[in-house]
Structure 1
Amino acid sequence: MVAQTDTTGTARRSDGAPPVVGVIYNPRSHRNRGRDLDIAGRPNIHVAEPREREEIRAALAQFAALGVQYLVINGGDGTVRDVLTAGLAVFGLDWPELAVLPKGKTNALNVDLGAPAGWTLAGAVDAWEQGQRIERRPLVVEPAEGGNEEPLVGFILGAGSYATGVRAGQEAHRLGAFNSLAVMVTAGWGVLQALFGSDANPWRRGVQMELRLGSDGNALPHAGAGYEGRRSIMLASTLERFPGGIRLFGALREGLKIVTLDRPGRRMLAMVPLLLAGLKLKDPDSRGLHYSTADMFELVIADEYILDGEAFPPGRYRVSQGPSLRFVVP
């Protein structure tokens, strides 16, 4: 039961047998209020509905014992983060192929992969044989000083006003805005707050943070505007496309990308919509806007950071790229 990959990135069965499929189904995800388990009774499909994070690893270990070749995650970005975090100890570097059904509120990973918004479990299983494969490496976030804490695995890490934006995005969700619309509503509101707010406004005051890039630990420079050591926003990701078509990392696309913004002047803030649309600045570093790539970096932060929509405590962290994962899309 092996899959062969041709030069176009599609896979086909060499023996015609269906894959052994494991499904992690999150019944609490935004779009899982109905059921999408019509084909769950097939003998090659195994479904787990973990209610707590602690149950996810046990479900994945059972899938590994069953020889699952195809892991379907039915949930949003937070569900993906929890499954990848739990699965790191189970699969290590040797993961089954994956598919993500976009059942959350923003579904940023699925925007990057390009799977249809209404993708179903039946559609994902059908795509295994002839679908395209897209490789992505997630971020791995772990304490820089070691310890017993489990590494976290996800795709979008942010801090500063990004954390404020996530909270505002949750409010946009309550008002009925989801996916790209929620991102655009939040971004627009954030720019207005930063433009017209005082230094006490959380969109403007920034967060004390330090970034050291690469194995050499080169400190990311600060342009000197505002308070030394504080930055307005930091984002890191390995994704290449984002909700709403925004260009978070300028011209950078592949690998681990980082963008940071020192405390900016209002003129720079007024340019944010243009920057997100792809405007290229001459010498952005001198204006406090830094685009970087690295194989890893160290983050020391005095406030919470956000990984795929959830807040985690301040501290000193090492951020690197995780295993190469193959995602199936139609």
Structure 2
Amino acid sequence: MATSIYEFAQIPRADPVGARARVRPIRDAGQAPTVGVIYNPRSHRNLGADFDCGLCPHVHIAQPRERGQLPVALADFAAKGIDLLVINGGDGTVRDVLTCGQAIFGDDWPAIAVLPKGKTNALTVDLGVPDDWTLQDAIDALDHGSRVHRRPMTVARIEEPGSRVAGFILGAGAFTKATQAGQSAHKLGAFDSMVVAVTGLWALLQSLFATRSNPWRQGARMRIGLGAADAPMAHSGHGDPAMRQLLFASTLERLPAGINPFGALRSGLKLAAIDQISRRTTALIPLVLTGRLRNGLRERGIHQLAATQFSLAIEDQFILDGEAFPAGHYRIEQGPELAFVAP
């Protein structure tokens, strides 16, 4: 369920008839829940293995091998009135399921559980889901576990109105370079928090010792507009005001490796943007990410803020949940509040 560059024109469209057919009856006490499982056999930890389809008649499993098959599977789950949607895969699988499910579930999603089976599983870190969580664990947690509420970001390309992608982590500039470096780290056996640490260290070294013309320090040409008024984000005056060395946005509250790029901000849509900062300020980044340096950041070229929405006009690729998206003009908002099942 992945391609090299995500094209908005290729987002699968859901059949609106399937959406209208959705019925979710109220369960009686002690009645087994109806469960729909999106199983990605290509996810890293699934390794193409067959999923156990004989758990019980109330568990319905779909194994879409491309994005175009997802709306059909989700519409079928909606028609069955599922109580729990289980996503068996990594962050990219979550992004594709949430994207394709927008037209089907709208603002009335079933409870969602995520089994961390991908190369990166940032969402399950935030949810507090252990690496060895099973389908049965997720089903048991529906009635006996906890609920964590999160709103994914929705990213709409202004040049193609009506197409929206949903996800939890967006980055640009040096973040794009770090994601490419992360693919190499995957090949060396680094995953999840380890790959965050490895690529973060590499990005720091590049920024410390590279020249201003190096892509790690140069970043990307972009314009960020905040809120409904689309007010331009402030710039510190360090480097080219048309460039940002890095942009990072998320609605998650806990990130892998314990990093905290947003300072005291926790809930909602949060942004961290870095201008073309000096090497001296670059050396302070670890203190910023661990929350030990919070004062005078904006003057140094490090911006941490929350926004109801923002626009991004960018001349380079950006990353959403591990996948590259093309240059263009985008609007980023918060999607519906989703209830995730956790231990």
**Shorter-chain TM-score above 0.5:** yes
User: Which whole-Å CA distance do the structure 2 matches of 1:275 and 1:282 have between them?
Assistant: 10
Q: How many Å apart are 1:39 and its aligned residue?
A: 5.7
Matched, 1:120 2:134: yes
Residue 238 (structure 1) aligned to one of 251, 263, 266? 251
CA contact (8 A) 1:21 1:44 kept: yes
Aligned to 2:87: 73
Task: Give, in whole Å, the separation in 1 of the partners of 2:47 and 2:159.
Answer: 41
Amino acid at match of 2:36: G
Residue pairs, 1:1-330, within 5 angstroms: 14-33=28-47, 35=49, 37-38=51-52, 40-148=54-162, 150-330=163-343
- Give secondary structure in 1 for the equivalent of 2:245: strand
Q: Distance in 2 between matches of 1:159 and 1:61?
A: 33
Superposed displacement of residue 200, structure 1: 2.5
Q: Distance in 2 between matches of 1:272 and 1:204?
A: 13
CA distance in 2, matches of 1:2, 1:287: 55
Confirm or deny: 8 A CA contact 2:92 2:321 kept in the other structure. Answer: yes
Letter of the 2:193 partner, please give it: S
Shift of residue 40 of structure 1? Answer: 4.0
**SS of equivalent residue, structure 2 residue 292:** coil
* Deviation at residue 281 of structure 1 after TM alignment: 3.0
Relative to 1, partners in 2 of residues 1:82 and 1:40: Cα closer, same or farther, differing over 3 Å? farther
- Tell me, in whole angstroms, the C-alpha distance in 1 between the residues paired with 2:209 and 2:159: 40
Q: CA deviation at 1:36?
A: 7.1
SS class of match (1:317): strand
Shifted more, 273-282 versus 165-174: the winner is 273-282
C-alpha deviation, 1:283, in angstroms: 2.3
Q: Judge which range, 35-44 or 309-318, deviates more.
A: 35-44
| Distance of 1:147 and 1:276 partners within structure 2 | 36
Shift of 1:280: 2.6
Deviation track 1:264-297 (CA, whole Å, cap 9, x = no partner) reads: 1001111111111112332211111111111111
Aligned to 1:10: none
Identity percentage over the alignment? 53
Any conservation in 2 of the 1:37–1:121 contact (CA below 8 Å)? no
**CA distance in 1 between partners of 2:55 and 2:41 (Å):** 18
Q: Which letter maps to 2:143? A: E
3-state SS of 1:74 partner: strand
Asked if the contact 1:155–1:308 (Cα under 8 Å) also holds between the matched residues in 2, the reply is yes
SS at match of 1:94: coil
Q: Which residue of 2 aligns with 1:8?
A: none
TM-score normalised by the chain length of structure 2:
0.90
Aligned-residue offset at 1:178: 0.8
AA aligned opposite 1:254: S
RMSD: 1.5
Distance 2:49 2:341 in 1: 22
Confirm or deny: 8 A CA contact 1:264 1:287 kept in the other structure.
Answer: yes
1:110 maps to amino acid:
T
Deviation at 1:84, TM superposition (A): 0.3
Aligned-partner SS, 2:85: strand
Deviations, residues 213-248 of structure 1 (Å, cap 9, x unaligned): 111211101111111210000011000000000012
Alignment-mate amino acid for residue 69 of structure 1: D
Q: Does the aligned pair in 2 maintain the 1:238–1:254 contact within 8 Å?
A: yes
**Whole-Å separation in 1 of the counterparts to 2:322 and 2:83:** 28
Unaligned stretches of 5+ residues in structure 2:
1-23
Moved over 2 A (4+): 34-41, 144-148
Does the Cα contact within 8 Å between 1:98 and 1:325 map onto a contact in 2? yes
Aligned-residue offset at 1:38 = 3.3
